[in-house]
Structure 1
Amino acid sequence: MWGRIFLSPKLLSRIHLTWSHRHLFTMQLKTKEFESLFTDGLKSLADIFEKHRFELRIAGGAVRDLLSGQRPEDVDFATTATPEEMKRMFQAAGIRMINNKGEKHGTITARVHNENFEVTTLRVDVQTDGRHAEVEFTTDWQKDAERRDLTINSMFLGLDGTVYDYFQGYEDLQNRKVRFVGSAAPRIQEDYLRILRYFRFYGRVASEPDQHDPDTLEAIQENASGLAAISGERIWVELKKMLVGNHAAHLLELVYELGLAQYIGLPAEGNVEEMKQVCQKAYGTSPKPVTVLAALFRSPDDVERLDLRLKISREEKTLGLFLVRRRRDLVKGQDEHGGLKPFTDFVIDSRELDAQSKVLELLKYQGEVKLLAELKRWSIPRFPVSGHDLRRLGITTGKEIGTTLQELRDIWKKSRYQLGKEELLSTISRS
């Protein structure tokens, strides 16, 4: 799960704060995580923009991560240069450009020293339909910040270490608070997926559940139906991240309380109480997103409907169906071996490559932490007898070979997979 974002005293000692004009709040960031970004590629990119006198800054989530003491996985850049100006600069410098799909929204991807750098022109959204936006380019950094979703994602970072914060994103990060830029309703109506992004970042940033601004929740509830027009693939990306973050049970319960479930593929009458119990029992075991959602489902049909709406992967769908079908009957045994045998027998009998990983998720669902650790250590034994071995003993018909192999497999399972080939074959001569 994502760790909670917070600013340590050590990190704070390396940040120097100042107030500036307008609503701008600036600070200087000098950390090893920030300095580690300066590869040969970034240095060359910065030189090109400086030579042509265009500003280049790190934007959005990467700034948030750096302020949290984390090295960002992805770094996006913003600039005052237009796409045409960037193309002329890069062509003059002999820089290859790739993936021109984002150009109409101002994004150019440059390949510098075997690294890809995604650079986007500052812009404002002049018209939106809740999914897509028509943009207009600008050189005003605050206007670009205004169009972003959350305050903690609206900051910029100059390559000299200056952080530019127009909407108290730094203060919100310190206070572990998740707020929309400006009023929640218009930000949501620009892109309804921001509802789920709010939940996802709440799980990353907030220290406690249920510390939401009431006006924000009201705006989410009033705009819930907008999610119906968002593609299932985009919803699933955000929902998965929310489910592996903190406060997953609280946020899923909120999804139901605010009337979002029906628009994002979840069953209208989901079993919220079981979901909360599963989240509690599975705490610390890192259950997969589908494992958490399966607790909401009352029948395999709920899994089918989820797949129809969100286009989940085949692996995710088969896991969901397995959990819903087997969560009640594949349970800890009452034998002298401590209860793992039903699960290992299932893995052996299924002969599917992913059977063990499915059972591991089932044990997380059931809260069987001890058995989970045992099954992780367990290696699937190989059944030592083959049809060729039986033919050597004179058993030749396909039906007889199949029946005998199954009988031997049952004997082998009862021995907890300890009997070898000769010991198993010897049982045939005695029968």
Structure 2
Amino acid sequence: MWGCVISRFSRISARNLFTMRLKTTEFQSLFTEGLKGLAGLFEKHQYELRIAGGAVRDLLSGKRPEDVDFATTATPEQMKSLFQAAGIRMINNKGEKHGTITARLHNENFEVTTLRVDVQTDGRHAEVEFTMDWQKDAERRDLTINSMFLGLDGTLYDYFKGYEDLQNHRVRFVGSPEQRIQEDFLRILRYFRFYGRVALKPDEHEPETLAAIKEHGQGLAFISGERIWVELKKIVVGNHAAHLLELIYKMELAQYIGLPPGGDVEGMKVVWQNSQHLSPKPITVLAALLRCPEEVEKMDIRLKMSREEKSLGLFLVKHRRDLCRREKQPDALRPFTDFIIDSRDPDCQSKVCELLKYQGEDKLLSELSCWSNPRFPLSGHDLRKIGITSGKEIGTTLQTLRDIWKKSHYKMDKDELLSHVKL
């Protein structure tokens, strides 16, 4: 992959940092009317503006980033002044105290953050001070591959060998892993997440990094469940997820991030191996660690999952053994379709699809994905028309007819079913 990307760069001289010129089509595609307007405004007022962080990493990997963040030498007050003078609307001022201003140009939002240094941190939050020094801003970032900047002329500014690490599929903290982790304990999970995105092999961690994670892992107990859940979900859908989850248990981190102590790691590894090519939802893989519904409830209390995620987790733990392919049944899909038809849950079919991913049932998943839930053709009103008036008798008769209908592969129509009613 790297050969085709490198061939599209032209190198320029460097003094205290590594630089090169990027001229890829992915980079050029970012220059919408909105970005051109933003760039022109900052240039007019002589403030530097560069692409920062993950977007630079993606562009160097030959990908067009979904989100692009910008860094600048302008302070928040200076940005507000120039945007107001240009009649540009600013939105979402929650990030202003950390130096972030969001401007809207040509129906696009642009998030621009003043260069900053962390003057005080408690492992969760940081007090920042603004700077005009690009290297100091890079120093406060978590990983080398996330610490690069890209000028709008295509010049890469790399202070900590992030590009070299990206080429070598290596994930390293900027400077001391111990210091970076103590600044924000969530960086432990961010390290695992990016390892799953960048590393080629599952177990090529630097010993110094693992030692720092082991030493300070208990700090994750002070991180909010919402922040942990965001990172954990990204770890589970990345490469090497089974290895990374096993490592989380080996390093005794599970207890701090909402995963059950003594989770079924071996079972999880089997589920991940069988389902990774089917794009399971994160909770589908994590459910393999959970032994009972109570563990789903405890995990939800810590991580504050969405209602849908919790419901799916409970469903998988409850039905992963009793709802499965019957070896001697000619129609292997039948138990699943019957279950969906009998269920009153409008999301039942999607949950059963996740169950089939959990079980590694590729063929049945493909069949169920194409299956349309048929409508039972009878109602209590139809039975009243033929003289059945007792509510209890109507319920019993409907269930009997529903069983007959299911045995017909859901093909019998109303008249055929009513012919089975004995008055």
Q: TM-score range by the shorter chain?
A: over 0.9
Instruction: Report what 1:280 is aligned to.
Output: 273
Question: Is 1:14 the counterpart of 2:16 in the alignment?
Answer: no
Instruction: Report what 1:403 is aligned to.
Output: 396
Separation (CA, whole Å) in 2 of partners of 1:284 and 1:420: 39
Secondary structure of 1:170's aligned partner = helix
Does structure 1 conserve the Cα–Cα contact (< 8 Å) formed by 2:2 and 2:167?
no
Instruction: Report what 1:250 is aligned to.
Output: 243
Separation (CA, whole Å) in 1 of partners of 2:388 and 2:327: 37
Instruction: Report what 1:178 is aligned to.
Output: 171
Instruction: Report what 1:371 is aligned to.
Output: 364
Question: Is 1:136 the counterpart of 2:120 in the alignment?
Answer: no
Deviation at 1:400, TM superposition (A): 1.3
Which segments of 5 or more consecutive residues in structure 2 lack a partner in the other structure?
A: none
Question: Is 1:331 the counterpart of 2:324 in the alignment?
Answer: yes
Q: 1:68 to 1:122 in 2, by over 3 A?
A: same
Separation (CA, whole Å) in 2 of partners of 1:19 and 1:192: 37
Secondary structure of 1:149's aligned partner = coil
Q: 1:299 aligns with which of 287, 292, 305?
A: 292
Alignment of 1:15-54 (within 5 A): 15-22=9-16, 24-54=17-47
Secondary structure of 1:26's aligned partner = strand
Alignment of 1:2-401 (within 5 A): 7-22=1-16, 24-401=17-394
Separation (CA, whole Å) in 2 of partners of 1:204 and 1:422: 58
Amino acid at match of 1:76: D
Deviation at 1:204, TM superposition (A): 0.5
1:258-287 C-alpha deviation (Å, 9 max, x unpaired)? 111000100011000000011111131111
1:352-392 C-alpha deviation (Å, 9 max, x unpaired)? 11111111111111111111111111111110111111111
Question: Of the two structures, which has the highest relative contact order with CA contacts closer than 8 Å and spacing of 6 or more?
Answer: 1
Does structure 2 conserve the Cα–Cα contact (< 8 Å) formed by 1:18 and 1:25?
no
Does structure 1 conserve the Cα–Cα contact (< 8 Å) formed by 2:52 and 2:148?
yes
Separation (CA, whole Å) in 2 of partners of 1:400 and 1:175: 72
Q: 2:416 aligns with which of 398, 401, 423?
A: 423
1:101-123 C-alpha deviation (Å, 9 max, x unpaired)? 11111111111122111110000
Amino acid at match of 1:107: T
Secondary structure of 2:277's aligned partner = coil
Amino acid at match of 1:10: C
Secondary structure of 1:199's aligned partner = helix
Deviation at 1:334, TM superposition (A): 3.4
Deviation at 1:10, TM superposition (A): 2.0
Secondary structure of 1:283's aligned partner = helix
Separation (CA, whole Å) in 1 of partners of 2:327 and 2:24: 56
Secondary structure of 2:113's aligned partner = strand
Separation (CA, whole Å) in 1 of partners of 2:137 and 2:359: 47
Using the size of structure 1 for normalisation, the TM-score is 0.96
Separation (CA, whole Å) in 1 of partners of 2:147 and 2:245: 26
Separation (CA, whole Å) in 1 of partners of 2:189 and 2:64: 24
Deviation at 1:414, TM superposition (A): 1.3
Instruction: Report what 1:4 is aligned to.
Output: none
Using the size of structure 2 for normalisation, the TM-score is 0.98
Higher mean displacement: 396-405 or 258-267:
396-405
Secondary structure of 2:352's aligned partner = helix
Does structure 1 conserve the Cα–Cα contact (< 8 Å) formed by 2:117 and 2:130?
yes
Deviation at 1:17, TM superposition (A): 2.8
Higher mean displacement: 316-325 or 333-342:
333-342
Deviation at 1:338, TM superposition (A): 3.4
Amino acid at match of 1:80: T
Amino acid at match of 2:335: P
Separation (CA, whole Å) in 2 of partners of 1:218 and 1:378: 50
Higher mean displacement: 415-424 or 285-294:
415-424
1:112-135 C-alpha deviation (Å, 9 max, x unpaired)? 122111110000000000111001
Separation (CA, whole Å) in 1 of partners of 2:252 and 2:13: 41
Higher mean displacement: 338-347 or 199-208:
338-347
Separation (CA, whole Å) in 2 of partners of 1:303 and 1:418: 39
Separation (CA, whole Å) in 1 of partners of 2:7 and 2:140: 31
Does structure 2 conserve the Cα–Cα contact (< 8 Å) formed by 1:287 and 1:361?
yes
Separation (CA, whole Å) in 2 of partners of 1:372 and 1:164: 47
